[in-house]
């Protein structure tokens, strides 16, 4: 299914085959809500028509919208700094990552993987 948009407390997903839209609340989306963005495909697990889990892709690519400036020549990944991503998620990134960079996040751990 494809995540379409948020309307208040409901998040609308569309079945890619039937184009049927279903609203889900934050509880139904669970941790997936931290990683999804509009037009992203997710896996929706349900039983007898009731959604019990939503799984984002294993890796997501999100743009950094805010982080403090790094230092020239600082390419180590042993230390990090906080960064806010386009969907509001806050993670730790290496010092060389800047605003506007796109980073890959592992949704299983919530950790930075690489800069794209």
pLDDT tens-place string over residues 34-55: 999 999 999 999 999 899 999 9
- Ramachandran class of 98: left when φ > 0, alpha when ψ lies in -120 to 50, beta otherwise: beta
Coil/strand/helix, residue 43: strand
Host domain of residue 106: 59-115
Which pTM value belongs to this model?
Answer: 0.83
Instruction: Report the CATH number that the domain containing residue 86 is assigned in CATH.
Output: 2.40.50.140
Q: Mean pLDDT in the chain?
A: 92
Q: Mark whether 64 and 49 lie in a shared domain.
A: no
Counted domains in the chain: 2
Which of 13, 32, 55 represents a domain boundary (last residue)?
A: 55
């Amino acid at each position: 299914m494809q995540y379409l948009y948020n309307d208040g407390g409901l998040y609308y997903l569309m079945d890619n085959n039937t184009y049927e839209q279903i609203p889900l609340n934050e509880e139904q989306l669970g941790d997936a809500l931290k990683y999804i963005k509009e037009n992203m495909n997710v896996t929706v697990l349900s039983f007898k028509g009731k959604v019990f889990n939503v799984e984002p892709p294993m890796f997501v690519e999100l743009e950094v919208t805010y982080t403090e400036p790094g230092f020239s020549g600082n390419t180590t990944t042993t230390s990090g700094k906080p960064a806010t991503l386009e969907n509001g998620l806050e993670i730790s990134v290496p010092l060389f990552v800047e605003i506007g960079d796109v980073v890959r996040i592992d949704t299983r751990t919530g950790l930075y993987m690489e800069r794209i």
